[in-house]
Amino acid sequence: MTMRRIVVVGNGIAGLTACDSLRSTGFDGELTVVGAERHQPYSRPALSKALLHGDDDLQAHELPQPTHDATELLGVSASGLDVDARVVRLDGGGELPYDGLVIASGSRAKRLAPLDGAAAPQRGGTRGQLPSRELTLRTIEDAVLLKELVASRPSVIVIGGGPLGMEVASGCLHMGCEVTLVSDVTPLSRQLGVHLAGIFTSAAIRRGLKVGGGGRARLAGSDGGRRVVLADGTELEADLVVTAIGDEPNVEWLAGSGLLNNGSLRVDSRGRLRPDIVAAGDVAFFPTLRGVQRIPLWTSAIDQAKAAAVGLLQGDAAPGFTFQPYFWTEGFGLALKAVGFTPVVGKPDYCEAGEGTDSLLLRWEHQDGSGTAAAINYRIPIPKLRRLANAGPEVLQRTVAAGV
């Protein structure tokens, strides 16, 4: 079938990359992007990194203007899909016919308290105006609001010990807030493993972060207020509560489409759900060396979208996607880059100290023959870090020494 009309649902980095890749692969037909947010694509990682830490004018998140010449429907959500008629239904009653479809509808922040239609927290920079409901950090509006609120240096509880929770906690500390982070396990241990998590947690405590355990947390009060109750009965209270407990794929609009497998989108190595539909980014489960997984990382969304765009246009002739995760995080004076699957188990098989405080280059060898390389405050180009991850233990040391 000749594809003359392709619809991309989602205008985040996966949707943007899919559009660019479709054009670079030779698609010159009608391209339409449906984006629930009103904005052009922006760097979501910058919201909890440079933007929250910096004293800039809120430009850290901006990306170059798109050049794919697609028709952009921004501030519009997809509400349904008819795969037989090849039609995407839109909120408000519109429809978009397609020959090919890219599903890149992303995910949203999980919440402890249900979002029941009450008004969103209002902006305000004084203690009297601080919102009584939990805050999340997912969109540019969330980031601007949080940046404004912490400027008055309120006390803050961050619930969630993953990368986002730790980055938010670091940013709030940087702004002069008293910060308590609540996590049911050692922060970052689920994502990175105990060894790397210990390095970050120690640095965080040295900088003044209070870390609370006590099991899973819940918000006290019918409005999801500023009191937090832990599973062991411990109660905590602060001026501001921010939750960072993960994300949920935006797949509700696909109900009844026949594409969901136990509620999830599971694609093949070319990003395909069927010959005329592909998916990529936070919404998709891709095959990896460690099974079919959803890996909601920025670079993962980019790599998946490139593969899915080619898979949509070339079918079986497209190369299969071999996934190697790349992850980075910043906080508490540390900058981590890691290539390969995490969490890592035990101590590293190779460790080299670099110049400066806490500067380390590390590598783990896994039972399946793959490796993970990590750099903490260590200046190393990403291509070299990838080569270190892929180098066998017998060649690693001379690879590092040779500066390859």
Q: Calculate mean pLDDT across residues 254-279.
A: 96
Percent of the chain topping pLDDT 90: 69
Q: Average pLDDT of 125-146?
A: 75
Query: Does residue 21 contact residue 306 with C-beta atoms inside 8 Å?
Result: yes
| Averaged pLDDT for residues 225-246 | 89
Q: How many Cβ atoms are within 10 Å of 23's Cβ, its own excluded?
A: 16
> Are the C-beta atoms of residues 315 and 275 closer than 8 Å to each other?
yes
Report residue 314: phi and psi, to 5°: -110, -10
What pLDDT was estimated at residue 392?
Answer: 64
CA–CA distance, 130 with 239 (Å, rounded to integer):
7
Tally of residues, the chain: 404
pTM of structure:
0.90
Cα(192)–Cα(189) distance, integer angstroms: 5
210 strand-pairing partners: 180
Count other C-beta atoms under 10 Å from residue 352's C-beta: 16
pLDDT at 221 over 70: no
* pLDDT (0 to 100) of residue 403: 53
122 pLDDT band, cuts 50/70/90, is very low
User: What is the rounded distance in angstroms from the CA atom of residue 18 to the CA atom of residue 270?
Assistant: 13
Dihedral sign computed on CA atoms, order 70, 39, 47, 182:
negative
Amino acid at the residue 98: Y
State which of 9-18, 125-134, 142-151, 229-238 shows the largest mean pLDDT.
Answer: 9-18
The beta strand positions in 238-378, using DSSP E, are 240-243, 247-249, 265-266, 272-274, 277-279, 284-288, 291-293, 326-331, 334-339, 350-353, 360-365, 371-376
Contact between 327 and 200 under an 8 Å Cβ cutoff? The reply is no
User: What is the arrangement of strands in the sheet containing 5-9, beginning at the earlier edge strand?
Assistant: 71-74, 30-35, 5-9, 100-103, 277-279, 272-274
The alpha-carbon radius of gyration of the chain (Å, integer) is: 22
DSSP, collapsed to helix, strand or coil, labels residue 18 as helix
Q: How far is CA 384 from CA 124, 145, 166, 321, 372, in A?
A: 45, 38, 27, 21, 12
Residue 344's pLDDT is 95
Average pLDDT (326-355) is: 93
The pLDDT assigned to 62 comes to: 75
| Whether residue 260 has pLDDT greater than 60 | yes
Quote the pLDDT of residue 53: 72
Q: Examine the pLDDT at 263 and tell me if it is beyond 50.
A: yes
pLDDT at 59 over 70: no
Q: What percent of the chain has pLDDT over 70?
A: 89
Residue 141 has pLDDT above 50, yes or no: yes
For 386-402, what is each residue's pLDDT tens digit? 999 988 655 555 555 55
Mean pLDDT of the chain: 88
Residue 132 banded pLDDT, cuts 50, 70, 90: low
Q: What would the pLDDT profile of 169-189 be if each residue is shown by its tens digit? A: 999 999 999 999 999 899 999
Q: Is the pLDDT assigned to residue 127 strictly greater than 70?
A: no
Give the model's pLDDT for residue 129. 55
Higher pLDDT, 225 or 130: 130
Q: Which residues pair with 261 in a beta bridge?
A: 264
The per-residue pLDDT for range 83-118, each reduced to its tens digit, is: 999 999 999 889 999 999 999 999 999 998 765 444
Nearest to 310 by CA among 269, 367, 282, 340: 269
Alpha helices in 212-369, H assignment, sequence order: 298-314
Six-digit token pair at 353?
């100290």
What domains are there in the chain, each with its CATH number? 5-109+247-317 (3.50.50.60), 127-243 (3.50.50.60), 347-402 (no CATH)
